[in-house]
Every structure is written in structure tokens, then in C-alpha cells.
Structure 1
């Protein structure tokens, strides 16, 4: 009696899980991409007062490029952190690959990103240079001989530029939608990136000490890092956010209700979870505005997009539903915290 081969779904499932582990999908899909999704939506909502919206295919390809870029930044970091992660006792998906296999994977990923970039932006040298800067800064942050992540403040700036600042510039340059609000959104995401990488170094402080990884946190100490986040970065970020929203209201009047609605939801959240009241204003952590950037802002803009004058109703609702589905893991995390689940 012959046995049937294992179902293909199992093999496919294993492959998908391996890709998720290598790209560290869960670490950027609902923390880095939502702000970029919001920027893409803003460019289209502003089209009501400007001109026809961009080609949907062009936006889809640009979003794919942003995903490739985010994944590459995490992959190259994992590849060059195998030894230090092992010393610190941290898991690393690349530790299961040979060095040559890891290099091949990174090379293929870069090749796919470059091919897509050239295919879409062959006639736009500025965008191609921006793509080069994005991938170059991601590589320089993690890879020797530069390995800027171990060069103090330069490491924070490079991480923020690669993951936050440059991708937003890429969006507005690729779609040709520069405005004062666009400049402020670039600055805002750059400040968010600085605060997030600062919080990351604070969280990894003990592990970095164990693995002898030199970062700004290990050289300056946790107290200095917390002061930097609480008294400089977070106030600047808050001010930039408020000014950006104020300017955006000229093109998108419904944004006048954005902050009141968010503050009402936040008040309800904190009423149910009083232990988090101090965390939401702790500028040295991920907590401040995390729900705003990662859930509320893209969902609010998606609803506005669905009912926009120049968007087909079916297409608009479809985009809004897809964005809502994309954000489900982040919503589940907030619900998990509320429920007190481990």
C-alpha cells in the first residue's frame, strides 16, 4: 500500500513561515508601514483640490517597493547580527542559514527591488537616487566596515533615515505631490524614527552589554537616553504633528475631527487601562501616539478615501477594507493588552 505525499499546503505553509521569520514581517508590517500607508492616502485625498489621483498600479508598485525596502532593512540587520544575537541569547532566523545562503538571499532581494525600481522609475533619476540612498543607508547601518549602528548618534540618525525619513520622501517624490504638509510629514516620521530607535536601544540595553555591542545607549547610559526622548524628541514630534494636521486641514477639511476623535478613543482606552496613563506620555518608549500612527490615522484616512469624490465607491471601500485587514494584528495587540492576556 502506497502512502500519499504530504499536502502541498504544509510545504507552502512552512515556506511562508520561513519568509516571515527571515523578513521579520511582524516587526515592521504594522509599525513602519501604517504611517507610509497614511502618506499614500493623503496624497490621494489632496487630489480632490489639486488634480486627478495617481495611477492605482503605480501606487501599488510603490507600496510593494516600500515593503521590499522595510524587509531588506530587517534582513540585512539580522544577517550581520547573527554573532552578537547569539552572544546575547536572542533568536535570529539567519543563524539557521550558511553565510553563503544568507548573502544569496540578500542579493536576490536587492536584485528584485532594483529591477522593480528601474522598471517603474527608469525616467526619474531623483527617485532612483532616493532608492539607492534607502538601501544604502539600511546596509551601512548594519554591515561592516561602516556598521553605523555602533557609532553613537550617527546610528540613530541612520536608522531613522533608512526606516522612516527617506521612505516618506520617496513617496512624495515618486508621486510628485510635494507641499508644506509633505515636508512636515517627512520631518514627523523622521522624529518618530529617532524616538523608536532610541526606545529600541533602551529595551536592548542589557542584551547589548552582554554581546559587547556598542550603541548610544551603552555609551551614554539609560538616564541620558530617557531624557533625550522625553524632553527633546517627543515634544518636537508632538509640535510637528499638530502643525502638519493644521496645514493638512486646508486640503482635507474632515481632518478637523481627527484629533478630537483620537483623544476620545484614547481617553476610553486609558479609562479601561489606568496603568498605561504614564506610558502614553513617556517619550522614551514606543507608547506615545503608537495607536494614532499604527491604527487610527490609516483607518481614519481610509474611510475618508472610501467616500472621496474622485474615487469609485467600490474601489474606495475595497482599499479601506484591505487596510483594515492589514492592521488587524496591531488591533489584536491592543485588545490583548486591554484583556490582560500574557
Structure 2
């Protein structure tokens, strides 16, 4: 097997396409905002940002492999496909072991930088191991499972990122900023895992999984997100935008809101907070993944031409995610332009 073929197969079983842009672009956005909050150029921390991406990629690959491997029985009972269903235990053990060894290496580097950063990075590994592995297996323990997934996929990676930026600059982030990032990331993570559980509720019920949704019911779970979790997420986001004092972030929110309205009135797309629906889009996800990071980088580039290197690098790394949003925004802008032309032109 060639190296390129092995990498492609590993990317498939690790589900990289499912979490790369969706989870890592928002982490980069908050790191950019944190650096700018400390009045420092982003390009100076380009190496640390790449290191963070590599470290989180190793952790996310471990999580994806472990989750699929421990879900084989449940997926078989529900008639659901599993990427590792026919993979030998020896190969899975080798892949997981490789991830652990690489993770220890990153953890050692983070420890030398700051024990706090190492502890936050370790948090992702610990909570997701407890999430998937018996006898703990928090995945089937309702609220504990939701909190574990949200912490492992959002809270700990986001906190690792901002603390690494702070330590690299030898500056301290405002406590309110750190607290707002923590609350926002945890709420955002809870909303996303409950969305996933709602979309997979039938399979989980057939497999006898006691998830948050199967235990409380879809309606109750949706209401908790809509009336408690999502408002907390929005309040924390507003605090972050206020503290950042970046006009670009606010303008990006206005552009995103315009896109949401055009989607609703022109393309009849449904706006959803948490409930999966056909022909719909999840509120704020594109803002986190594309609008916010691009706005921050473009504004930074306007002030410091050297930031163009980071902008290009971000575009190369997250091209597919950004292209989908840019193309959609272009279609919306074209429709607005055409609609605004006088009749007969």
C-alpha cells in the first residue's frame, strides 16, 4: 500500500471530512480573536497555530477510531454501517496506539509550555475515552454523555487553543474572555451533539442506547436546547464580540444575517436551531466556520500586509468549507443585485 493510499484510507475511517472544517475552523477563529485581543500580529504565531491543528488532528483521529470501534455492536443491532466493522482488532490497536504515542509527544510539548495547556489537551483524550469505553461509556448516560461530548469536542480544544496563544505571547487573556469562551464552546458543543442525537434517535433507540434524546424524548430535548442552551450560547457569543471590539466581526454577523434572510425568502430554506430537517440550515454554524475567521483575517490583513500569509494558509487548509459559503454568498449577492434592478433591464 502506497503512503498516499494509506493516508486516504485513514482519513476515511477517521472521518476527517466530518470534523475538520466543522470543528477546527471555529477553533482557529477564536484563536485569531484572542491574538488580536492581545494586540499582537497573527502571523507571528503561525507555527503555534499549525502545531495546535496537528495536535487536535491526532486527538480527533483517536476519538473517531475509538468511537467507531466501540460502537460496532450497537451499530449492528440498529442496522447502521460502521467504518471499522470489518477491520481487525490488531490494526485498530496499532492505529490507536500510534495516535496515543503522538498525543503523548504533543502533551509533553504543551507541558513544557504550560502544565495548564497540557491538562486541557489531556482533557479531550480523557473525556472521550470515558465517553466510548466500557464500563463507564458515558455515551449511553444521557446528560453525562452530552456534557462529555461537548467538553471533548469543543470546550477542551477551544481552551487549549486560547491558552496556547496566551502562553506563546507571554500575555494574560482577560478572565471574562476566558470564561466567555468556555461557556460559549460548551453550549455550542451541547447544541451540536444533541442535534446529532436527534438525527440518530431511531438508530439509538433500536440499539437500546440511553442517550439524552432517547431518555427525555425528542420534544423535551429540543426545548431544552432552544430555551436554555442556545440562549446561553448567544449571550456568551455577544460577550465575546463585545470584548473583541472588532468591527469586522460585527459586519460579518450582519452579512451572515442577510444570507439567512435570503435563504428563507428566496430559497425557502428552513432555519433550525437544533432539530434536523430537510432543506434546512443550522443557525450560526456558517458564521463560526467561515464568516468570523475570514472577517478577522481580512481586517488584520488590511492593517498588516504580512497577515496575508495567514489568510492564504487558512484558505488552503479550509478551502472546501470556505468555498461552500463563499459560493452561496455569491449566489445571494447576485440575487439581491438582480432583484434591485428596475423592471425591463
TM-score of the superposed pair, with normalisation by structure 2: 0.84
Give the conservation status (yes or no) of the 8 Å contact 2:13–2:65: yes
Q: Is the 8 A contact 1:169 1:186 kept in 2?
A: yes
**1:275-294 to 2 correspondences below 5 Å:** 275-276=269-270, 279-280=271-272, 282-285=273-276, 287-294=282-289
Tell me the distance in 2 between the aligned counterparts of 1:208 and 1:313. 46
Matching residue of 1:41: 32
Please report the RMSD computed on the Cα atoms of aligned residues, expressed in angstroms. 2.6
Match of 2:216 in 1: 220
| Partner deviation per Cα, 1:72-107 (whole Å, 9 max, x = no partner) | 222211111111112222222211211222122111
Q: 1:319 aligns with which of 313, 321, 335?
A: 313
1:272 aligns with 2:266: yes
Q: 1:330 to 1:22 in 2, by over 3 A?
A: farther
Instruction: Show the counterpart of 2:127.
Output: 137
Number of equivalences: 321
The superposition leaves residues 118-151 of structure 1 with CA deviations (integer Å, 9 ceiling, x where unpaired) of 1354242111222222211111111111100111
Correspondent of 1:71 among 57, 61, 67: 61
Give the Cα–Cα distance (whole angstroms) in 2 for the partners of residues 33 and 330 of structure 1.
16
Report matched runs for 1:200-215 at 5 Å.
200-215=196-211
What's the CA shift for 1:193? 0.5
Match of 1:231 in 2: 227
1:31: which partner in 2?
Answer: 22
TM-score by length of 1: 0.85
User: Tell me, which stretches of 5 or more residues in structure 1 are unaligned?
Assistant: 1-7
Secondary structure in 2 matching 1:94: coil
Q: Does 1:96 align with 2:92?
A: no
Which residue does 1:261 correspond to in 2?
255
CA separation of 1:230 and 1:163: change in aligned 2, threshold 3 A: same
Q: 1:27 to 1:316 in 2, by over 3 A?
A: closer
In 1, Cα distance between equivalents of 2:153 and 2:12: 19
Q: How far apart are 1:327 and its partner, in Å?
A: 2.0
How far apart are 1:307 and its partner, in Å?
Answer: 2.5
Residue 243 of structure 2 corresponds to 247
1:3 maps to: none
Which one of the candidate residues 139, 159, 174 is aligned to 1:149?
139
Partner of 2:297: 302
Give, in angstroms, the shift of residue 258 of structure 1. 2.9
1:190 maps to 2:186: yes
Partner Cα separation in structure 2 for residue 71 and residue 52 of structure 1: 27
- 8 A contact 2:30–2:158 mirrored in 1: yes
* Distance (Å, rounded) in 1 between the aligned partners of 2:314 and 2:302: 10
Moved more, 316-325 or 28-37: 316-325
In 2: Cα distance, 1:329 partner to 1:147 partner: 37
Q: In structure 1, what is the Cα distance between the partners aligned to 2:323 and 2:4? A: 19
Correspondent of 1:178 among 165, 173, 180 = 173
Counterpart of 1:158 in structure 2 is 148
Structure 2: unaligned runs, 5 residues or longer: 167-171, 333-345
